Amino acid sequence: MTHSIRAIAAALGVQAHGNLDLQVSQAAEPASAGPDDLALAMQPAYGPALRQGSARAAIVWPDADWQSFGLEAAIIAPRARLAMARLTQMLDAPQGQTGISPQALIDPTAAIAADVTIGAFSVIGANAVIGAGTWIADQVSIAAGVTIGAACQIHAGARLQRRVTLGERVILQPNVVIGGDGFSFVTEQPSNVEIARDTLGAADMTAPDDPTWHRIHSLGGVVIGDDVEIGAGSTVDAGTIRATSVGQGTKIDNLVQIGHNVSIGAHCLLCAQAGVAGSSVIGDRVVVGGKAGIADNLKIGNDVVLGGGSVVLSNVPAGRVMMGYPATKMQTHIDSYKALRRLPRLLRDLVGR
């Protein structure tokens, strides 16, 4: 399938110059682009590579002297990665299979809307509801009573446990698990972890009389909002009484763990290996850097940014940029770190005198 330069520029919402009827078949790196490819050269640094390749059309940076690169047509992209978002959406092939596989096991009471795809060896439980146009890959488990909105994409190996609700256009990458039981246990008497937290570790711990961890069952399920995407191998545990929730438009990377009763707002980003412990409430548009952690029962305000690897142990007010362990304001962390780096020299000078 080919696209005209005119159609691509329209899809990107940007301007194009030259032969707008030129057809291209795929996107390519500028140096290796052939005559039917659309070269991607959104930064001046790609100029020399454009000359090496044989592309007739390219997406170029603003002010590029595109004709000097031997191009017949150019699309101007003021914001390179936004152009990539729209271009890749346009060029991506639809998911391969369609229709319901004869090897899928679907409970007769499940309500499957029109245009749903269900792959082989997927299991759909009793009274599950699958919205129109939703695409379910092979080997997906959807428990009884689960509700899935329209136009979702659920990739191979995903598991949706009981009491899970997905909004519309949700994308679950392979092996996502939604609604596993929460990690929630309690002892008869206050446990060592409770004592340690209350006293900040003032005294050594002793063996409790009864170490038994009593299981708190997870009855609350999970609610995932519209347009949420969850990366491969990530997990969202079920709430205890109320649902664990992820707000609309939030994007979660691979290998992220969301604990029970957590509430995540809208349009957040949680990068790989981030972890959110039970019952913490995260506002809207929060960015959690890779490997960052949020302890349990905390509140993180709107628009907070947590640097990679930071670990939040107390509440964070709206808009704050945090870093380090324990996470502090980024500026405070940098000041503290500078002081720490200067400490050896300072001590050497002190001893020297």
Applying CB under 8 A, among 326, 337, 338, 348 the residue interacting with other proteins is 326
The correct pick among 17, 162, 197, 242 for binding other proteins (CB under 8 A) is 197
Size of the site for other proteins (CB under 8 A): 15
Q: 52 vs 331, which CB is nearer to other proteins?
A: 331
Does 301 bind other proteins (CB under 8 A)? Our answer is: yes
Considering only 6, 17, 299, 308, the residue that binds other proteins (CB under 8 A) is 299
Secondary structure (3-state) at 38: strand
Task: Assess contact for 254 and 231: CB atoms under 8 A.
Answer: yes
260 is catalytic: yes
202 contacts other proteins (rule: CB under 8 A): yes
Q: How far apart are CA 307 and CA 187, in angstroms?
A: 35
Q: Is 192 in the site for other proteins (CB under 8 A)?
A: no
> What value, to the nearest 5°, has the Cα angle with vertex 90 and ends 88 and 94?
95
In angstroms, rounded to a whole number, what is the distance separating the alpha carbons of residues 41 and 48?
A: 10
CB of 43 to other proteins, least distance (A): 41
> Which residue of 199, 205, 211, 212 would you call a contact of other proteins, by CB under 8 A?
199
For position 315 contacting other proteins by CB under 8 A, the verdict is yes
Write out the binding residues for other proteins, residues 34-63 only, by CB under 8 A.
none
Phi and psi angles of residue 80, each rounded to the nearest 5 degrees, phi first: -55, -50
> Residue 288 CB, nearest distance to other proteins (Å)?
17
Among 99, 183, 317, 348, binds other proteins (CB under 8 A): 317
CB of 283 to other proteins, least distance (A): 10
Contact between 32 and other proteins by CB under 8 A: the answer reads: no
> In 221-247, which positions are buried (b, 16+ CB within 10 angstroms) versus exposed (e)?
bbbbbbbbbbbbbbbbbbbbeebbbbb
User: Would you count residue 201 as binding other proteins (CB under 8 A)?
Assistant: yes
CB within 8 Å of 199: residues ≥ 6 apart: none
Closest CA to 67 of 108, 18, 25, 105: 18
The single-letter code of the amino acid at 53 is: G
Select which of 155, 260, 267, 333 is catalytic: 260
Which residues are paired to 329 by β-bridges? 322
DSSP H or E run through 344? helix 330-352
Least gap, CB of 339 to other proteins (angstroms): 13
Catalogue the active-site residues: 260
Chain residues binding other proteins by CB under 8 A are 197-202, 299, 301, 313-315, 317, 326, 328, 332
